[in-house]
Amino acid sequence: MINQDMRLFLRISYLLAMASAMPMQVNVNQRATECLYEKVDAGEAVTMSVFLLSGSELKATVYIEGPIAPPGVNSGLELQTSINEYNTGQRFGQVVKEQFVVDMEHLQATPEAEEIKDDDDAFKYDDDDDDDDATEKSEQDLEKARKRMEEKRRRAQIARQKAREMRRKREQQRKERAAKIREEGEPVQKTITAKTDGWYRACIMGSWFQVSVRPCRPRFSRAF
């Protein structure tokens, strides 16, 4: 059976192997964190680029920090050991950390979607005026009550049909929105400059809901 340490080792080894294959799509669960790791030299500028593809809300927390391990670390197991030490307070040099929120909610809604949402109120009906039906005794009143009930059922059927149509339109809006995000959206970028040689990490947290993220491989350039 694979223990927790071995799973962590395999996870980091996988991430290191995948680093050269960026960009890729990562699903980040709610309250979960996914990280990419890179060895960086002092003076290098590290730029992290993040693009949110889908989610109930197009928002996530991103941070870049390091060094989280000394430059001499060469294996996933050594890296995980250093990460554990870093997370408990040990430092391997002058730490740099930048944290920010990626908010792409402006790509989430379209005017058409808002119009559809607002139209829902038109489909609601109120049957409070029928509460006195039970008190109507005459034949004429009973006939009027029957007609009101038929009209109420007719309105309810129309409302259900329109609600189904709204769900269908919203689903179409979601598909169009996803296409718009992929075609028109720009990634959010953040750059830090490493002050100490070592391993750095760029992490994405599903702070609100599960999101699908396209993180581009961190770019490095010498700062002068």
What is the topology classification, in CATH, of domain 4-104+185-222? Jelly Rolls (2.60.120)
- Count of Cβ atoms closer than 10 Å to residue 78 Cβ: 16
- Its pTM surpasses 0.95: no
CA angle (127 as vertex; 122, 169 as ends), nearest 5: 30
Least confident of 5-9, 30-34, 84-88, 180-184: 5-9
pLDDT tens-digit readout, 19-36: 444 446 667 777 778 788
Contacts of 63 (CB under 8 A, 6+ apart): 97, 98, 99, 100, 202, 203, 205
Is residue 158 over pLDDT 80? yes
